[in-house]
Structure 1
Amino acid sequence: MPINDYEISLRLFLACVFGGIVGFQRERHDSPAGLRTYILVSLGSSLIMILSMYGFSDFTSTADPARLAAQVVSGIGFLGAGTILRDGVSVKGLTTAASLWVVSAIGLAAGAGFYYSSFLVTILVFITLERSIETYFFKDKQVLRVIAVNKTCAIHDINSIFEAHKVMARNVSMRLLEEEQNKTTIEYTLKTPFYKINTEKIIEDINEIEGIYSVEKVEVT
Protein backbone atom coordinates (compact mmCIF):
# COMPACT_ATOMS: atom_id res chain seq x y z
CA MET A 1 0.00 0.00 0.00
CA PRO A 2 1.23 3.53 -0.75
CA ILE A 3 2.26 5.79 2.12
CA ASN A 4 1.67 9.54 2.28
CA ASP A 5 3.97 12.27 3.54
CA TYR A 6 2.03 12.66 6.80
CA GLU A 7 2.51 9.01 7.71
CA ILE A 8 6.22 9.18 6.85
CA SER A 9 6.65 12.30 9.00
CA LEU A 10 4.81 10.68 11.90
CA ARG A 11 6.95 7.56 11.83
CA LEU A 12 10.21 9.49 11.61
CA PHE A 13 9.13 11.89 14.35
CA LEU A 14 8.16 9.06 16.70
CA ALA A 15 11.49 7.35 16.01
CA CYS A 16 13.26 10.57 17.07
CA VAL A 17 11.17 10.85 20.23
CA PHE A 18 11.58 7.22 21.25
CA GLY A 19 15.31 7.20 20.54
CA GLY A 20 15.66 10.52 22.35
CA ILE A 21 14.00 9.16 25.49
CA VAL A 22 16.54 6.36 25.77
CA GLY A 23 19.37 8.69 24.74
CA PHE A 24 18.37 11.18 27.42
CA GLN A 25 18.66 8.50 30.08
CA ARG A 26 22.10 7.46 28.81
CA GLU A 27 23.26 11.09 28.58
CA ARG A 28 22.41 11.65 32.24
CA HIS A 29 24.68 8.78 33.24
CA ASP A 30 27.66 9.83 31.09
CA SER A 31 27.32 6.94 28.67
CA PRO A 32 29.84 6.68 25.78
CA ALA A 33 26.85 7.20 23.44
CA GLY A 34 24.57 10.10 24.29
CA LEU A 35 21.33 11.75 23.22
CA ARG A 36 22.26 12.58 19.64
CA THR A 37 23.70 9.12 18.96
CA TYR A 38 20.51 7.39 20.05
CA ILE A 39 18.30 9.76 18.07
CA LEU A 40 20.38 9.23 14.94
CA VAL A 41 20.36 5.42 15.32
CA SER A 42 16.60 5.32 15.82
CA LEU A 43 15.90 7.83 13.04
CA GLY A 44 18.18 6.08 10.57
CA SER A 45 16.67 2.68 11.37
CA SER A 46 13.18 4.09 10.87
CA LEU A 47 14.06 5.60 7.51
CA ILE A 48 15.63 2.35 6.34
CA MET A 49 12.50 0.46 7.38
CA ILE A 50 10.27 2.88 5.45
CA LEU A 51 12.56 2.68 2.43
CA SER A 52 12.61 -1.09 2.63
CA MET A 53 8.81 -1.33 2.77
CA TYR A 54 7.83 1.33 0.25
CA GLY A 55 10.91 2.57 -1.62
CA PHE A 56 11.14 -0.29 -4.10
CA SER A 57 7.48 -1.02 -4.69
CA ASP A 58 7.61 0.63 -8.13
CA PHE A 59 10.48 -1.55 -9.28
CA THR A 60 9.44 -5.02 -8.20
CA SER A 61 6.33 -6.82 -7.08
CA THR A 62 8.27 -9.34 -4.99
CA ALA A 63 10.04 -6.91 -2.67
CA ASP A 64 11.08 -8.32 0.67
CA PRO A 65 11.07 -5.52 3.28
CA ALA A 66 12.87 -7.70 5.80
CA ARG A 67 16.07 -7.93 3.75
CA LEU A 68 17.18 -4.32 4.11
CA ALA A 69 15.96 -4.09 7.71
CA ALA A 70 17.94 -7.19 8.63
CA GLN A 71 21.16 -5.40 7.73
CA VAL A 72 20.40 -2.78 10.38
CA VAL A 73 20.16 -5.41 13.11
CA SER A 74 23.55 -6.89 12.23
CA GLY A 75 25.22 -3.63 11.19
CA ILE A 76 24.43 -1.86 14.45
CA GLY A 77 26.80 -4.30 16.12
CA PHE A 78 29.78 -2.38 14.70
CA LEU A 79 28.55 0.82 16.29
CA GLY A 80 27.88 -0.93 19.58
CA ALA A 81 31.35 -2.47 19.58
CA GLY A 82 32.84 1.02 19.59
CA THR A 83 31.24 1.74 22.97
CA ILE A 84 32.67 -1.34 24.72
CA LEU A 85 35.83 -0.59 26.68
CA ARG A 86 38.02 -2.85 28.80
CA ASP A 87 39.23 -1.26 32.03
CA GLY A 88 41.53 -3.64 33.89
CA VAL A 89 39.49 -6.66 34.92
CA SER A 90 36.17 -4.98 34.18
CA VAL A 91 34.37 -4.34 30.90
CA LYS A 92 32.39 -1.15 30.40
CA GLY A 93 29.92 -0.17 27.71
CA LEU A 94 28.03 -3.44 27.30
CA THR A 95 24.78 -1.84 28.47
CA THR A 96 25.28 1.05 26.04
CA ALA A 97 25.93 -1.36 23.17
CA ALA A 98 22.84 -3.40 24.04
CA SER A 99 20.66 -0.29 24.33
CA LEU A 100 21.88 0.97 20.94
CA TRP A 101 20.88 -2.36 19.43
CA VAL A 102 17.42 -2.13 21.03
CA VAL A 103 16.99 1.47 19.87
CA SER A 104 17.68 0.37 16.30
CA ALA A 105 14.86 -2.17 16.71
CA ILE A 106 12.61 0.59 18.08
CA GLY A 107 13.35 2.68 15.01
CA LEU A 108 12.57 -0.24 12.71
CA ALA A 109 9.28 -0.84 14.52
CA ALA A 110 8.32 2.84 14.29
CA GLY A 111 9.24 2.87 10.62
CA ALA A 112 7.07 -0.18 10.00
CA GLY A 113 4.11 1.50 11.71
CA PHE A 114 4.09 -0.54 14.93
CA TYR A 115 3.52 2.49 17.13
CA TYR A 116 2.32 0.73 20.25
CA SER A 117 5.13 -1.83 20.33
CA SER A 118 7.82 0.78 19.72
CA PHE A 119 6.37 3.00 22.44
CA LEU A 120 6.06 0.12 24.91
CA VAL A 121 9.63 -1.08 24.29
CA THR A 122 10.91 2.49 24.73
CA ILE A 123 9.28 2.73 28.16
CA LEU A 124 10.55 -0.71 29.16
CA VAL A 125 14.09 0.12 28.04
CA PHE A 126 14.02 3.43 29.92
CA ILE A 127 12.85 1.73 33.11
CA THR A 128 15.47 -1.01 32.74
CA LEU A 129 18.29 1.49 32.33
CA GLU A 130 17.28 3.63 35.29
CA ARG A 131 19.60 3.46 38.29
CA SER A 132 16.65 3.06 40.63
CA ILE A 133 16.10 -0.47 39.30
CA GLU A 134 19.73 -1.35 39.92
CA THR A 135 19.62 0.16 43.40
CA TYR A 136 16.61 -2.00 44.25
CA PHE A 137 18.39 -5.21 43.36
CA PHE A 138 21.79 -4.21 44.73
CA LYS A 139 20.64 -3.51 48.27
CA ASP A 140 23.31 -5.76 49.75
CA LYS A 141 26.43 -3.60 49.45
CA GLN A 142 29.71 -4.06 51.29
CA VAL A 143 32.46 -1.43 51.46
CA LEU A 144 36.04 -2.43 52.29
CA ARG A 145 38.88 0.00 52.94
CA VAL A 146 42.31 -1.41 52.11
CA ILE A 147 45.67 0.16 52.97
CA ALA A 148 48.51 -1.30 50.92
CA VAL A 149 52.19 -0.66 50.26
CA ASN A 150 52.82 1.48 47.19
CA LYS A 151 53.95 -0.19 43.97
CA THR A 152 52.80 -3.69 44.85
CA CYS A 153 50.64 -6.16 42.95
CA ALA A 154 48.02 -6.04 45.70
CA ILE A 155 45.21 -4.86 43.39
CA HIS A 156 45.57 -7.89 41.12
CA ASP A 157 45.68 -10.23 44.12
CA ILE A 158 42.64 -8.58 45.70
CA ASN A 159 40.66 -8.96 42.49
CA SER A 160 41.60 -12.64 42.43
CA ILE A 161 40.19 -13.04 45.93
CA PHE A 162 36.93 -11.38 44.91
CA GLU A 163 36.66 -13.79 41.99
CA ALA A 164 37.35 -16.73 44.30
CA HIS A 165 34.42 -15.60 46.45
CA LYS A 166 32.20 -15.41 43.33
CA VAL A 167 32.02 -11.61 43.29
CA MET A 168 32.00 -10.73 39.59
CA ALA A 169 34.26 -7.95 38.35
CA ARG A 170 31.32 -5.87 37.14
CA ASN A 171 29.98 -5.86 40.72
CA VAL A 172 33.19 -4.39 42.12
CA SER A 173 34.06 -0.70 42.02
CA MET A 174 37.36 0.72 43.22
CA ARG A 175 38.14 4.25 44.43
CA LEU A 176 41.53 5.69 45.38
CA LEU A 177 41.11 7.63 48.63
CA GLU A 178 44.63 8.62 49.63
CA GLU A 179 48.20 8.08 48.50
CA GLU A 180 51.00 8.87 50.92
CA GLN A 181 54.74 8.35 50.65
CA ASN A 182 54.59 4.61 51.22
CA LYS A 183 50.87 3.82 51.65
CA THR A 184 47.87 3.74 49.33
CA THR A 185 44.31 3.69 50.65
CA ILE A 186 41.75 2.10 48.34
CA GLU A 187 38.02 1.72 48.90
CA TYR A 188 36.24 -1.25 47.32
CA THR A 189 32.47 -1.40 46.95
CA LEU A 190 31.05 -4.90 46.48
CA LYS A 191 27.49 -5.28 45.19
CA THR A 192 25.95 -8.73 45.52
CA PRO A 193 22.27 -8.65 44.54
CA PHE A 194 21.26 -12.29 44.72
CA TYR A 195 23.50 -13.93 47.28
CA LYS A 196 25.36 -13.29 50.53
CA ILE A 197 29.13 -13.10 50.69
CA ASN A 198 31.38 -13.96 53.59
CA THR A 199 32.89 -10.52 54.18
CA GLU A 200 34.93 -11.66 57.17
CA LYS A 201 36.60 -14.41 55.10
CA ILE A 202 37.33 -11.95 52.29
CA ILE A 203 38.98 -9.56 54.76
CA GLU A 204 40.99 -12.45 56.21
CA ASP A 205 42.19 -13.52 52.76
CA ILE A 206 43.16 -9.96 51.77
CA ASN A 207 45.13 -9.52 55.00
CA GLU A 208 47.26 -12.51 53.99
CA ILE A 209 48.43 -10.75 50.82
CA GLU A 210 52.00 -9.47 51.00
CA GLY A 211 52.11 -5.68 51.14
CA ILE A 212 48.75 -5.17 52.87
CA TYR A 213 48.80 -2.98 55.97
CA SER A 214 45.16 -3.34 56.98
CA VAL A 215 41.62 -4.09 55.75
CA GLU A 216 38.46 -2.84 57.43
CA LYS A 217 34.78 -2.97 56.69
CA VAL A 218 33.14 0.44 56.37
CA GLU A 219 29.58 0.94 57.52
CA VAL A 220 27.29 1.94 54.66
CA THR A 221 25.08 4.92 55.49
Structure 2
Amino acid sequence: MTSPFAAFVIEPNALFTSLICLATAFVLGVAIGLERQWRQRSAGLRTNVLVAVGAAAFVDLGLRSAGAEGSVRVISYVVSGIGFLGAGVIMKDGTQVRGLNTAATLWASAAVGAFAGARLPAEAALVTLFVLAGNTLLRPLVEFVDRRPMRPGETEALYRVHVTVPAEQVAFARDLLFDELERHHYPIREIETLAQGKDSVELAAVLVPSRANEADLDAIVDHLARHDEVISATWTVSTTS
Protein backbone atom coordinates (compact mmCIF):
# COMPACT_ATOMS: atom_id res chain seq x y z
CA MET A 1 0.00 0.00 0.00
CA THR A 2 1.39 3.36 -1.01
CA SER A 3 1.80 5.87 1.80
CA PRO A 4 -0.23 9.09 1.39
CA PHE A 5 2.91 10.98 2.32
CA ALA A 6 5.02 9.42 -0.45
CA ALA A 7 4.59 12.49 -2.66
CA PHE A 8 5.86 14.79 0.09
CA VAL A 9 9.58 14.46 -0.49
CA ILE A 10 11.91 17.02 1.02
CA GLU A 11 14.93 17.73 -1.11
CA PRO A 12 17.63 19.15 1.16
CA ASN A 13 19.51 20.98 -1.61
CA ALA A 14 16.37 22.62 -3.00
CA LEU A 15 15.22 23.49 0.51
CA PHE A 16 18.55 25.10 1.32
CA THR A 17 18.40 27.10 -1.92
CA SER A 18 14.92 28.35 -1.04
CA LEU A 19 16.17 29.26 2.42
CA ILE A 20 18.96 31.36 0.92
CA CYS A 21 16.52 33.07 -1.47
CA LEU A 22 14.02 33.91 1.27
CA ALA A 23 16.72 34.99 3.71
CA THR A 24 18.22 37.30 1.09
CA ALA A 25 14.81 38.85 0.41
CA PHE A 26 14.20 39.18 4.15
CA VAL A 27 17.50 40.95 4.90
CA LEU A 28 17.22 43.30 1.94
CA GLY A 29 13.55 43.96 2.72
CA VAL A 30 14.61 44.92 6.24
CA ALA A 31 17.14 47.39 4.81
CA ILE A 32 14.47 49.10 2.70
CA GLY A 33 11.72 48.88 5.31
CA LEU A 34 13.88 50.23 8.14
CA GLU A 35 14.47 53.46 6.27
CA ARG A 36 10.73 53.76 5.62
CA GLN A 37 9.90 52.98 9.27
CA TRP A 38 12.44 55.55 10.45
CA ARG A 39 10.60 58.23 8.45
CA GLN A 40 7.23 57.03 9.78
CA ARG A 41 5.80 56.08 6.39
CA SER A 42 2.54 54.13 6.16
CA ALA A 43 4.30 51.13 4.60
CA GLY A 44 7.21 50.52 6.94
CA LEU A 45 9.47 47.69 8.03
CA ARG A 46 7.07 44.76 8.14
CA THR A 47 5.24 45.68 4.94
CA ASN A 48 8.39 45.98 2.84
CA VAL A 49 9.82 42.77 4.29
CA LEU A 50 6.62 40.86 3.54
CA VAL A 51 6.45 42.23 -0.01
CA ALA A 52 10.07 41.23 -0.69
CA VAL A 53 9.74 37.79 0.91
CA GLY A 54 6.40 37.13 -0.78
CA ALA A 55 7.77 38.02 -4.20
CA ALA A 56 10.81 35.83 -3.60
CA ALA A 57 8.61 32.90 -2.49
CA PHE A 58 6.39 33.09 -5.57
CA VAL A 59 9.31 33.37 -7.99
CA ASP A 60 11.12 30.52 -6.22
CA LEU A 61 7.98 28.39 -6.44
CA GLY A 62 7.57 29.14 -10.15
CA LEU A 63 11.22 28.33 -10.80
CA ARG A 64 11.07 25.03 -8.92
CA SER A 65 7.76 23.89 -10.37
CA ALA A 66 8.06 25.00 -14.02
CA GLY A 67 11.64 26.12 -14.53
CA ALA A 68 12.68 29.39 -16.10
CA GLU A 69 9.45 29.71 -18.07
CA GLY A 70 7.39 29.34 -14.90
CA SER A 71 9.43 31.94 -13.05
CA VAL A 72 8.96 34.43 -15.89
CA ARG A 73 5.18 33.99 -15.72
CA VAL A 74 5.20 34.43 -11.94
CA ILE A 75 7.35 37.56 -12.18
CA SER A 76 4.88 39.11 -14.63
CA TYR A 77 2.07 38.42 -12.15
CA VAL A 78 4.11 39.88 -9.28
CA VAL A 79 4.75 43.06 -11.27
CA SER A 80 1.04 43.58 -12.02
CA GLY A 81 -0.23 42.31 -8.67
CA ILE A 82 1.96 44.60 -6.58
CA GLY A 83 0.29 47.51 -8.35
CA PHE A 84 -2.96 46.77 -6.52
CA LEU A 85 -1.12 46.82 -3.19
CA GLY A 86 0.56 50.09 -4.09
CA ALA A 87 -2.76 51.64 -5.08
CA GLY A 88 -3.98 51.04 -1.54
CA VAL A 89 -1.43 53.45 -0.07
CA ILE A 90 -2.06 56.27 -2.56
CA MET A 91 -4.49 58.88 -1.28
CA LYS A 92 -5.84 62.08 -2.81
CA ASP A 93 -6.06 64.96 -0.36
CA GLY A 94 -7.70 67.86 -2.19
CA THR A 95 -5.34 68.72 -5.03
CA GLN A 96 -2.46 66.82 -3.43
CA VAL A 97 -1.70 63.15 -4.09
CA ARG A 98 0.06 61.36 -1.24
CA GLY A 99 1.68 57.94 -1.01
CA LEU A 100 3.25 57.76 -4.47
CA ASN A 101 6.75 57.33 -3.06
CA THR A 102 5.54 54.65 -0.65
CA ALA A 103 3.82 52.77 -3.48
CA ALA A 104 6.94 53.00 -5.63
CA THR A 105 9.06 51.68 -2.75
CA LEU A 106 6.75 48.69 -2.34
CA TRP A 107 7.05 48.02 -6.06
CA ALA A 108 10.85 48.18 -5.78
CA SER A 109 10.77 45.83 -2.75
CA ALA A 110 8.90 43.33 -4.90
CA ALA A 111 11.64 43.65 -7.53
CA VAL A 112 14.24 42.92 -4.85
CA GLY A 113 12.30 39.84 -3.81
CA ALA A 114 11.91 38.70 -7.41
CA PHE A 115 15.67 38.91 -7.95
CA ALA A 116 16.27 36.98 -4.74
CA GLY A 117 13.74 34.31 -5.70
CA ALA A 118 15.37 33.98 -9.12
CA ARG A 119 18.72 33.09 -7.48
CA LEU A 120 20.26 36.48 -8.25
CA PRO A 121 21.25 37.80 -4.80
CA ALA A 122 23.90 40.21 -6.09
CA GLU A 123 21.36 41.88 -8.36
CA ALA A 124 18.85 41.98 -5.51
CA ALA A 125 21.41 43.75 -3.32
CA LEU A 126 22.19 46.18 -6.13
CA VAL A 127 18.51 47.09 -6.54
CA THR A 128 18.29 47.59 -2.76
CA LEU A 129 21.21 50.01 -2.84
CA PHE A 130 19.56 52.06 -5.57
CA VAL A 131 16.22 52.08 -3.72
CA LEU A 132 17.91 53.29 -0.53
CA ALA A 133 19.84 55.89 -2.51
CA GLY A 134 16.63 57.14 -4.09
CA ASN A 135 14.90 57.46 -0.72
CA THR A 136 17.85 59.02 1.16
CA LEU A 137 20.53 60.59 -1.02
CA LEU A 138 18.03 62.35 -3.27
CA ARG A 139 16.12 63.95 -0.37
CA PRO A 140 18.41 67.03 -0.11
CA LEU A 141 18.09 67.60 -3.86
CA VAL A 142 14.28 67.31 -3.69
CA GLU A 143 14.14 69.73 -0.75
CA PHE A 144 16.39 72.19 -2.58
CA VAL A 145 14.18 72.15 -5.68
CA ASP A 146 10.99 72.44 -3.59
CA ARG A 147 12.34 75.49 -1.72
CA ARG A 148 12.99 77.40 -4.93
CA PRO A 149 10.30 79.96 -5.75
CA MET A 150 8.24 78.80 -8.67
CA ARG A 151 8.71 80.91 -11.78
CA PRO A 152 5.86 80.68 -14.27
CA GLY A 153 8.18 80.58 -17.28
CA GLU A 154 10.07 77.54 -15.98
CA THR A 155 7.30 75.03 -15.41
CA GLU A 156 4.10 73.62 -16.78
CA ALA A 157 1.57 75.43 -14.65
CA LEU A 158 -2.09 76.16 -14.10
CA TYR A 159 -3.01 79.85 -14.17
CA ARG A 160 -6.10 81.35 -12.57
CA VAL A 161 -7.37 84.92 -12.67
CA HIS A 162 -9.48 85.69 -9.58
CA VAL A 163 -12.14 88.33 -9.08
CA THR A 164 -14.29 88.98 -6.04
CA VAL A 165 -17.58 90.75 -6.68
CA PRO A 166 -20.86 91.40 -4.86
CA ALA A 167 -23.17 88.38 -4.97
CA GLU A 168 -25.56 90.09 -7.39
CA GLN A 169 -22.75 90.82 -9.89
CA VAL A 170 -21.72 87.21 -10.65
CA ALA A 171 -23.03 87.24 -14.23
CA PHE A 172 -21.30 90.57 -14.88
CA ALA A 173 -18.02 89.19 -13.47
CA ARG A 174 -18.15 86.14 -15.75
CA ASP A 175 -18.65 88.30 -18.82
CA LEU A 176 -15.91 90.66 -17.65
CA LEU A 177 -13.41 87.80 -17.24
CA PHE A 178 -14.21 86.41 -20.68
CA ASP A 179 -13.92 89.80 -22.38
CA GLU A 180 -10.73 90.88 -20.61
CA LEU A 181 -8.85 87.61 -21.12
CA GLU A 182 -10.01 87.25 -24.71
CA ARG A 183 -8.74 90.75 -25.41
CA HIS A 184 -5.27 89.63 -24.28
CA HIS A 185 -5.56 86.36 -26.24
CA TYR A 186 -5.78 84.08 -23.20
CA PRO A 187 -8.60 81.55 -23.76
CA ILE A 188 -10.46 80.29 -20.70
CA ARG A 189 -10.83 76.59 -19.91
CA GLU A 190 -13.51 77.15 -17.25
CA ILE A 191 -14.68 79.56 -14.58
CA GLU A 192 -14.75 78.19 -11.04
CA THR A 193 -16.66 79.49 -8.04
CA LEU A 194 -14.09 79.36 -5.24
CA ALA A 195 -16.04 81.06 -2.46
CA GLN A 196 -19.62 82.15 -2.11
CA GLY A 197 -21.00 84.16 0.77
CA LYS A 198 -24.04 86.29 1.46
CA ASP A 199 -22.36 89.48 0.30
CA SER A 200 -19.64 88.43 -2.15
CA VAL A 201 -18.54 85.71 -4.54
CA GLU A 202 -15.01 84.82 -5.66
CA LEU A 203 -14.64 83.52 -9.22
CA ALA A 204 -11.52 82.13 -10.84
CA ALA A 205 -10.98 81.83 -14.58
CA VAL A 206 -8.74 78.84 -15.38
CA LEU A 207 -6.59 79.61 -18.41
CA VAL A 208 -5.96 77.12 -21.20
CA PRO A 209 -2.23 77.86 -21.77
CA SER A 210 0.32 76.25 -19.46
CA ARG A 211 2.60 79.29 -19.78
CA ALA A 212 1.65 82.95 -19.46
CA ASN A 213 3.37 86.30 -19.29
CA GLU A 214 3.44 87.80 -15.79
CA ALA A 215 3.25 91.35 -17.15
CA ASP A 216 0.11 90.47 -19.12
CA LEU A 217 -1.56 88.95 -16.06
CA ASP A 218 -0.62 91.96 -13.92
CA ALA A 219 -2.16 94.26 -16.52
CA ILE A 220 -5.31 92.13 -16.70
CA VAL A 221 -5.96 92.11 -12.96
CA ASP A 222 -5.12 95.81 -12.72
CA HIS A 223 -7.73 96.58 -15.37
CA LEU A 224 -10.27 94.28 -13.70
CA ALA A 225 -9.76 95.96 -10.33
CA ARG A 226 -10.64 99.38 -11.81
CA HIS A 227 -14.27 98.38 -12.32
CA ASP A 228 -16.52 99.64 -9.58
CA GLU A 229 -18.31 96.29 -9.39
CA VAL A 230 -15.07 94.40 -8.61
CA ILE A 231 -14.05 94.19 -4.96
CA SER A 232 -10.63 92.68 -5.67
CA ALA A 233 -8.70 91.00 -8.49
CA THR A 234 -5.55 88.90 -8.55
CA TRP A 235 -3.95 85.95 -10.32
CA THR A 236 -2.32 82.75 -9.08
CA VAL A 237 -0.24 79.97 -10.57
CA SER A 238 0.13 76.38 -9.40
CA THR A 239 1.91 73.34 -10.77
CA THR A 240 -0.11 70.88 -12.80
CA SER A 241 -0.55 67.35 -11.43
CA–CA distance in 2 between the matches of 1:38 and 1:168?
A: 35
1:70-124 per-residue CA deviation (whole Å, 9 max, x = no partner) reads 1111000000000101112111111111111111111010011111110011011
Q: TM-score, normalised by structure 1?
A: 0.60
Partner of 2:187: none
Counterpart of 1:136? 141
Under a length normalisation based on structure 2, what TM-score does the superposition of the two structures give? 0.55
Partner of 1:106: 112
Query: Which residue does 1:10 correspond to in 2?
Result: 20
Change (3 A) 1:30 1:167: farther
Find out whether 1:75 has 2:75 as its counterpart.
Answer: no
Of the three residues 19, 22, 28, the one matched with 2:32 is 22
SS of equivalent to 2:111:
helix
Bigger RCO (CA 8 Å, 6+ sep):
1
Paired residues of 2:34 and 2:45 also in contact (CA < 8 A):
yes
- RMSD (CA atoms): 3.1
Alignment-derived partner of residue 58 in structure 2: 48
Matched, 1:92 2:98: yes
Give the Å deviation of 1:63: 5.2
> Shift of the alpha carbon at 1:137?
4.7
Aligned to 1:124: 130
Q: Aligned match of 1:32 in 19, 26, 42?
A: 42
Give the CA deviation at 1:56: 4.3
Cα displacement (A) at 1:167: 8.1
- Residue 18 of structure 1 and its aligned partner are, at CA, apart by 0.8
Structure 1 residue runs of 5 or longer lacking an equivalent are: 144-161, 170-197, 212-221
Q: CA deviation at 1:163?
A: 9.2
- 5+ unaligned residues in a row in structure 2: which ranges? 1-10, 159-213, 226-230, 233-241
Question: How do 1:113-192 and structure 2 match up within 5 A?
Answer: 113-130=119-136, 132-139=137-144, 141=147, 166=155
In structure 2, the CA distance between the partners of 1:48 and 1:139, relative to structure 1 (3 Å rule), is: same
Partners of 2:151 and 2:86 in 1: CA distance: 27
Q: Is the 8 A contact 2:71 2:118 kept in 1?
A: no
